[in-house]
């Protein structure tokens, strides 16, 4: 009997001990969670990406202002691409400007250490991209300067006023359901004939008002029959604009057929010219080659006139250096001579031999990421034969 009572007491005692241990364990777990939460909140309060959180340090109060971007934020990748393309096209921008172009707000960039960390991430991403695609990234672009066949002149005030009026009418014409602008092959550019063509019914009043003014402008700047053999009454002009936000370009070309002037032609064999004038303060872009090799993306500012001799290879379209949603309208003039008349809706894609394509020796200088093997693998077999994978 005594043995049974003692055994029962021991059993209940052990159960009490187990219950005490269980309760103590639960209390310890709860205490650990509470301490962990407190430490975590303190860590958050002291981090630079806490939004508008006051942190006390040595009696001072410091306030952070913005949420820091994560290291893998896609906008950092886009910023690195913007920065690389700006370097490759001689329009170098800072890492901070690249971030803004990629959609990052100035408040998110922050100041001090936060800003420094973010700019370092862009730089690191640039190195990674160049490492992955070393062949596609091209540097050492020869800078195009004003030469005998590439010139930039400033427009007087009355021409700038005229350009602004033309731009306003162009915007209205673009918005029409039956807009007369026609696409330029394989690009996102569209154009309309302005003056010098008999079969163009649009913008008639502006054509009458400004055709003579433009002829006088070129005459006063030395682009006339006396100095360059230009037939001023035969000047023609069209209006070109970018229809979408895509980064699309024309193929390298000339606006006149390449011509060898013989010695017997002497000074009677003048080469024609083209002129390009932006219509808005956003300016306009043109890829220009000073010779075989790599292009330079030239930003034409409003009020400037870029003049190219007929043998200068170029291509329309903006480079991937900004994210401005603009239609970049510009006037495209033909300044013909007796030797080279202005063509209509035609560009020339071959060398002087009439066979070699210009794009074989005139290359764009923009950086492009190599196509991954994963992307290549999903291409159908019929298309894979035609595609080179980087």
User: How far is the C-alpha of 2 from the C-alpha of 349, rounded, in Å?
Assistant: 114
pLDDT digits over 12-26, tens only?
A: 556 666 667 777 788
- Average pLDDT of span 272-286: 93
- Average pLDDT of span 78-98: 80
Identify the weakest region by mean pLDDT among 43-47, 66-70, 102-106, 193-197.
43-47
Q: What is the pLDDT of residue 230?
A: 93
- Do 297 and 321 touch, CB atoms closer than 8 A? yes
Q: What is the pLDDT of residue 248?
A: 83
- Do 290 and 296 touch, CB atoms closer than 8 A? yes
How many Cβ atoms sit within 10 Å of the Cβ of residue 318?
26
pLDDT digits over 294-316, tens only?
A: 888 888 899 999 999 999 999 99
pTM of the full predicted structure? 0.64
Q: Return the C-alpha torsion angle 111, 112, 118, 123, nearest 10.
A: 120
Q: Return the C-alpha torsion angle 175, 177, 183, 186, nearest 10.
A: 100
Q: What is the pLDDT of residue 379?
A: 33
Q: What is the pLDDT of residue 199?
A: 63
pLDDT digits over 331-383, tens only?
A: 999 999 988 999 888 899 999 888 899 998 898 876 555 443 333 333 333 33
Selection from 285, 331, 335 nearest residue 163 by Cα:
331
- Do 366 and 249 touch, CB atoms closer than 8 A? no
How many Cβ atoms sit within 10 Å of the Cβ of residue 322?
21
User: How far is the C-alpha of 86 from the C-alpha of 367, rounded, in Å?
Assistant: 9
Domains in the chain with CATH codes:
74-132 (no CATH), 150-363 (2.60.120.620)
pLDDT digits over 238-261, tens only?
A: 999 999 888 888 999 999 998 877
More confident residue, 202 or 288: 288
Phi-psi region of 103 (alpha: psi -120 to 50; beta: other; left: phi over 0): left
- Do 79 and 95 touch, CB atoms closer than 8 A? yes
Distances (CA, A) of 378 to 133, 136, 150: 20, 22, 45
User: How far is the C-alpha of 222 from the C-alpha of 331, rounded, in Å?
Assistant: 19
């Amino acid at each position: 009997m005594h043995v049974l009572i003692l055994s029962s007491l021991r059993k209940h005692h052990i159960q009490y001990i187990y219950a005490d241990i269980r309760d103590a364990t639960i209390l310890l777990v709860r205490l650990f969670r509470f301490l962990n939460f407190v430490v975590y909140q303190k860590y958050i309060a002291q981090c630079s990406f806490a939004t508008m959180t006051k942190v006390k340090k040595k009696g001072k109060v410091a306030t952070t202002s913005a949420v820091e971007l994560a290291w893998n934020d896609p906008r950092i990748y886009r910023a690195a691409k913007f920065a690389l393309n700006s370097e490759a096209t001689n329009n170098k921008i800072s890492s901070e400007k690249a971030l803004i172009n990629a959609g990052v707000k100035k408040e998110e960039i922050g100041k001090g250490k936060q800003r420094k960390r973010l700019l370092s991430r862009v730089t690191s991403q640039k190195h990674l991209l160049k490492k992955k695609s070393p062949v596609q990234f091209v540097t050492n672009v020869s800078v195009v300067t004003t030469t005998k066949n590439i010139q930039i002149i400033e427009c007087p005030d009355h021409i700038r006023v005229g350009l602004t009026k033309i731009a306003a009418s162009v915007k209205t014409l673009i918005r029409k359901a039956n807009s007369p602008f026609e696409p330029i092959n394989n690009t996102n550019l569209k154009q309309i004939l302005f003056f010098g063509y008999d079969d163009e019914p649009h913008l008639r009043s502006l054509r009458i008002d400004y055709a003579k003014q433009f002829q006088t402008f070129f005459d006063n700047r030395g682009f006339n029959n006396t100095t360059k053999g230009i037939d001023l009454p035969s000047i023609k002009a069209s209006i070109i604009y970018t229809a979408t936000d895509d980064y699309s370009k024309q193929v390298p070309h000339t606006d006149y057929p390449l011509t060898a002037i013989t010695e017997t032609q002497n000074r009677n064999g003048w080469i024609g010219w083209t002129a390009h004038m932006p219509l808005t303060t956003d300016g306009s872009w043109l890829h220009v080659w000073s010779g075989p090799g790599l292009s330079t993306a030239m930003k034409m500012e409003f009020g400037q006139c870029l003049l190219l001799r007929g043998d200068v290879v170029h291509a329309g379209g903006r480079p991937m250096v900004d994210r401005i949603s603009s239609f970049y309208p510009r006037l495209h003039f033909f300044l013909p001579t007796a030797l080279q008349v202005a063509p209509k809706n035609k560009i020339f894609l071959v060398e002087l031999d009439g066979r070699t394509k210009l794009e074989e020796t005139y290359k764009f200088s923009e950086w492009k990421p190599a196509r991954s093997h994963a992307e290549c693998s999903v291409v159908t077999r019929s298309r894979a034969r035609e595609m080179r994978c980087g």
